[in-house]
Amino acid sequence: MIPSSFPDKAEIARLTANMLLEIEAVHFNAREPFTLASGLPSPTYIDCRKLISFPRIRSTLMDFLAVTVMRDAGFEAFDNVAGGETAGIPFGALMAERLALPMTYVRKKPKGYGRNARIEGVMSEGQRVLLVEDLTTDGGSKLSFVDAIRETGANCGHTAVIFYYGIFPETIETLDNHGVQLHHLCTWWDVLEAARQGEKFDEETLKDVEAFLRAPRAWQDARKK
């Protein structure tokens, strides 16, 4: 069923943040920082993959993401939905179902045998493709997926994620320079506010997290090993 009427963006952000906290997808630890895929330290970590195990929350967030994309990009803006390997695949499938569109997925690299393809499923030249992922940090990882889609002759000018860090100023510029518009449900700032209101963490931890969010690069540089 294609969703058409839902709360405004601020309410969607608030509800999404609360759902992520409810399933304990959010982790804060400034004393023993997490190591991100980039190798840099962070007092914050979010595991959006957990969402697939919570059907009521999963369904609601996919409705939110579908209506966000349709509001921002258009109701007839896409011909195909592509999930990025691996976390984006289930969300890509769920979004394709809601938008009543074909679903494909994009490999991080060719599998090395058979057709040696990065695109699985049917993607045609000229199709307008929506790239779906679970989250984005600085936007860089999306570019390889976008390029793989464009190599088929299809167009990809939009990516949709559940969670956007919202703390690295270069993210939007990086995507814009590649001709890609970002659609998202909530950011770390929304989660921090929800965590404070719900008293999910002690105030000292929240202050440390806020310090990181306000100056992430400086916080990381000070703690590089």
Q: Give all domains of the chain, ordered by start, each with its CATH number.
A: 9-18+53-188 (3.40.50.2020)
Q: What pLDDT is recorded for position 124?
A: 95
**What value does the CA radius of gyration of the chain take, rounded to a whole number of Å?**
18
> Residues 194, 14: contact at Cβ < 8 Å?
yes
Indicate if the pLDDT at residue 176 is higher than 60.
yes
Q: What pLDDT is recorded for position 1?
A: 66
C-alpha neighbours within 13 Å on the C-beta side of residue 86: 2
Amino acid making up residue 87:
A
Q: What pLDDT is recorded for position 114?
A: 56
Q: What pLDDT is recorded for position 214?
A: 96
**Cβ neighbour number for residue 46 with a 10 Å cutoff:** 21
Bridge partners of 188, per DSSP, are none
Q: Which residue has the tokens 């993959």?
A: 49
Bridge partners of 132, per DSSP, are 83, 160
> Residues 62, 98: contact at Cβ < 8 Å?
yes
Q: What pLDDT is recorded for position 225?
A: 64
Q: What pLDDT is recorded for position 85?
A: 94
Q: What pLDDT is recorded for position 200?
A: 84
pTM: 0.93
Mean pLDDT score, 8-25:
97
Token reading at 179: 């001709």
Alpha-carbon gap, residue 195 to 105, rounded angstroms: 34
pLDDT band of residue 30 (cuts 50, 70, 90) is confident
pLDDT tens, position by position, 99-126: 999 999 999 988 766 566 899 999 999 9
